Amino acid sequence: MLSRQRITFIGAGAMAEAIISGLLADNRVSGEQITVVNKNNDERLDHLEKNYGIKTSKDKKRAVADSDLLILAMKPKDVDEALESIQPHIREHHVIFSVLAGTTTDDIARLVDVDCPVVRVMANTSAKVAASASAISGGRHASAKDIDLAAELFSAIGTITVVPEEKMNSVTGVSGSGPAYFYYLLEGLQTAAVEAGLSEEESKALLIQTMEGAAKRWSQSSESLRSLYEEVMSPGGTTEAAFSVLQKHTVQEHLTTGTKAAIDRSISLGQPKKQV
């Protein structure tokens, strides 16, 4: 199905690039099938065209009319204006995928005159290396075939979890924003490593394998996370020394509160538009 789709991305930012890069690396889609449009940043279109061999266009209406699948990849605050400008060219044969945080499939359907299917997807920037944790949910007019198409496309760039749309804001705060949480934590670990005499290169190699190993161990274990970190901790040892500081500063509670703030933000983005 995917190999026959003419795909137009509306929005040419970080997320569009991550998805395009993952899709092309997987070879299920060719650069010829992909067109990208944005609002006005021509340099950005040139960058994508040169680096990925895809097509770009300054004629949004034409790019929409000549497509089967539209992938909305602008900021939530820009979706009204973006859809207004292309909506007369959206026909019932179109399928719309939206990767926007917060914005519901009903929000999008309200901005489009025809009843075409809308599928909401929350991917993350690991799409760029085909390792996104993506969740998918279908809106009112989406059929099993449309969900299958989304699963086919997004499975080319990582894993897929199909969820009811009411869970999408939680997904957004957890795995949509999730890569940033890990980078932030790793930055703290790397600072300690470098200050203690390791080079950036050495600490990068050690931390990457430590993170991948911990993820693999958890994925292959039925033990709780607590029992996995307690396994690392020897009485009076190094891990315990670290935990006494982390717990004194309630680091875990702050991570939980921060993630809840992301989920709340996703909910509020679906309400009258916020300027982000």
Ligand X SMILES: NC(=O)C1=CN([C@@H]2O[C@H](COP(=O)(O)OP(=O)(O)OC[C@H]3O[C@@H](n4cnc5c(N)ncnc54)[C@H](OP(=O)(O)O)[C@@H]3O)[C@@H](O)[C@H]2O)C=CC1
* Residue 20 amino acid letter: I
101 scored as a contact of ligand A1CAB (CB under 6 A): yes
Partner touching 100 among ligand X, ligand A1CAB, none, CB below 5 to 8 Å by kind: ligand X
261 scored as a contact of ligand X (CB under 6 A): no
| Contact with ligand X (CB under 6 A) among 40, 219, 234, 275 | 40
270 scored as a contact of ligand A1CAB (CB under 6 A): no
176 scored as a contact of ligand A1CAB (CB under 6 A): yes
Among 29, 20, 30, 31, residue whose Cα is nearest residue 127: 20
**Distance (Å, rounded) from C-alpha 137 to C-alpha 151?**
10
Q: Which residue has the tokens 């997987």?
A: 26
Q: Distance of CA 261 to CAs 62, 103, 170, 256, 265, Å?
A: 40, 17, 10, 9, 6
172 scored as a contact of ligand A1CAB (CB under 6 A): yes
Is the CB of 21 or the CB of 172 nearer to ligand A1CAB? 172
22 scored as a contact of ligand X (CB under 6 A): no
Strands (DSSP E) contained in the chain are 7-10, 34-37, 55-56, 69-72, 95-98, 118-122, 132-138, 158-162
Are the beta carbons of 174 and 266 closer than 8 angstroms? no
The span of 28-36, 113-121, 142-150, 171-179 binding ligand A1CAB (CB under 6 A) equals: 171-179
Query: How crowded is the C-beta side of 53, counted as CA atoms within 13 Å?
Result: 8
171 scored as a contact of ligand X (CB under 6 A): no
Q: Which residues are annotated as a binding site for NADP(+)?
A: 10-15, 73-76
> Which residues does 133 contact at the CB level (< 8 Å), separation at least 6?
123, 124, 126, 158, 159, 161, 175, 178
Among 84, 82, 72, 78, residue whose Cα is nearest residue 123: 72
The span of 46-54, 159-167, 172-180, 214-222 binding ligand A1CAB (CB under 6 A) equals: 172-180
**Distance (Å, rounded) from C-alpha 126 to C-alpha 248?**
32
Instruction: For residue 16, give the 3-state DSSP assignment.
Output: helix
Q: How far is the CB of 71 from ligand A1CAB (least distance, A)?
A: 15
Is the CB of 12 or the CB of 156 nearer to ligand X? 12
203 scored as a contact of ligand X (CB under 6 A): no
7 scored as a contact of ligand A1CAB (CB under 6 A): no
Q: How far is the CB of 87 from ligand X (least distance, A)?
A: 12
Is the CB of 68 or the CB of 80 nearer to ligand X? 80
CB atoms closer than 10 angstroms to residue 241: 11
Q: How far is the CB of 13 from ligand X (least distance, A)?
A: 2
| Contact with ligand X (CB under 6 A) among 21, 71, 76, 112 | 76
Query: Which parts of this chain interact with ligand A1CAB (CB under 6 A)?
Result: 101, 172, 176-177
Q: Binding residues for ligand X, per CB under 6 A?
A: 10-16, 37-41, 44, 73-76, 78, 81-82, 85, 99-101, 122-125, 176
